[in-house]
Amino acid sequence: MLRSSPGRDSAAPPDGAVQAADPYGEDLHLALYLCYEQHYRGFAGVDPAWEWAPALLGLRAGLERRFLHALRQDTEDRPCAADEAFAGILAEPVDGVGLSHFLRDEGELWQLREYAAQRSLYHLKEADPHLWVVPRLRGRAKAGMVAVEFDEYGGGRAERMHSRLFADLMTDLGLDTTYGRYVDAATAETLASVNLMSVFGLHRALRGALVGHFAAVEVTSSPASHRLAQAMRRAGAGDAAVHFYAEHVEADAVHEQVVRRDVVGGLLADEPWLEADVAFGVAATDLLDTRVGERTLAAWHDGRSSLRTPL
């Protein structure tokens, strides 16, 4: 569809195909990723006019409805109060399990390379999906969000932008730093976790969910980044690879406080009716991150590549 010119007669996949698709599957999330990328950098050979073409927007809406319905169903037993939602992710178990724990304790260089390749779908555009929410906030929430994002963009210095630091990490690991290079290798679980940021960010009605998602990322980032810095150091991945995560240990420890106090607190002071949406954003983020971890670790424990196509 995208290889043709956009117009009134552009033929989108039928609605029945969308309704039959697995809401967490490869077909739906690759299609949704292609739709969303029109709002970021687009694709070579694809007319930029597709960004606002009614046929593509109609298809995207159907994909989003399928995805969001599944997310709401699968998180309906989670807390609806923001404080309770955050309580579930603030404390880490003594015997932690998960990707960052595995990589710290057992991860080999090839596994770190696979992890970075998948994460590149987000980190090479780090913070971009979250900026969509800024015009939808006001007062303390907006000021806090912009303060955190300013750090994500290197405080105005291009060489310190977190997306640039991740590209340096990829170079240390011998990976291609071209934007979107590893889309074909990424699993459905990874695509879904990246698409979550865009669906929340692009819809004003989901601004509360985006704030909840962003807070969940910042709350869990510092301890996970500490473990990943240790993993990179132990595997001899290189100074830039270690630095990316070491930078996030310090930065995100500060960001967590700003986001919880000013962004979440400011939003709920202004719009208290969005509390359930904030909690939904936290729950959906945790759900999809768990799916990524389970898929990846299952493959590694079997001695297989976690990617659709090995590096």
pLDDT in tens, 205-260: 999 999 999 999 988 888 899 999 999 999 999 999 999 999 888 776 777 888 98
Place of tokens 């698409």: 195
Is 229 in contact with 246 (CB distance < 8 Å)? yes
List the chain pLDDT tens, one digit each, 311 residues. 898 888 766 677 887 889 999 999 999 999 999 999 999 999 999 999 999 999 999 999 999 999 999 999 999 999 899 989 888 777 665 566 789 999 999 999 999 999 999 999 999 999 999 999 999 999 999 999 999 999 999 999 999 999 999 999 999 999 999 999 999 999 999 999 999 999 999 999 999 999 999 999 988 888 899 999 999 999 999 999 999 999 888 776 777 888 989 999 999 999 999 999 999 999 999 999 999 999 999 999 999 999 999 99
Cα–Cα nearest to 141, from 75, 191, 82, 80: 82
> Would you list the domain boundaries of the chain?
15-73, 81-301
- Count of alpha carbons within 13 angstroms of residue 45, beta-carbon side: 4
Angle at CA of residue 224, ends 123 and 259, nearest 5°: 70
Task: Look at the alpha carbons of 296, 298, 301, 307 in this order and tell me if their dihedral is positive or negative.
Answer: negative
The DSSP 8-state label assigned to residue 23 in this structure reads T
Residue 209 to residue 203: CA distance in whole angstroms: 10
How is residue 252 written in tokens?
A: 């995100």
Task: Look at the alpha carbons of 109, 98, 150, 210 in this order and tell me if their dihedral is positive or negative.
Answer: positive
Residues 6+ apart with CB under 8 A from 62: 15, 18, 19
pTM over 0.85: yes
Is 194 in contact with 126 (CB distance < 8 Å)? no
On whether the 81-301 domain is CATH 1.10.357.10, my answer is no
Residue 98 to residue 121: CA distance in whole angstroms: 20
Where does residue 264 rank: exposed (0-12), middle (13-18), buried (19+ CB within 10 A)?
Answer: buried
Residue 230 to residue 211: CA distance in whole angstroms: 29
Q: What is the pLDDT of residue 93?
A: 59
Q: What is the pLDDT of residue 219?
A: 86
Is 263 in contact with 274 (CB distance < 8 Å)? no
Cα–Cα nearest to 113, from 172, 184, 165: 172
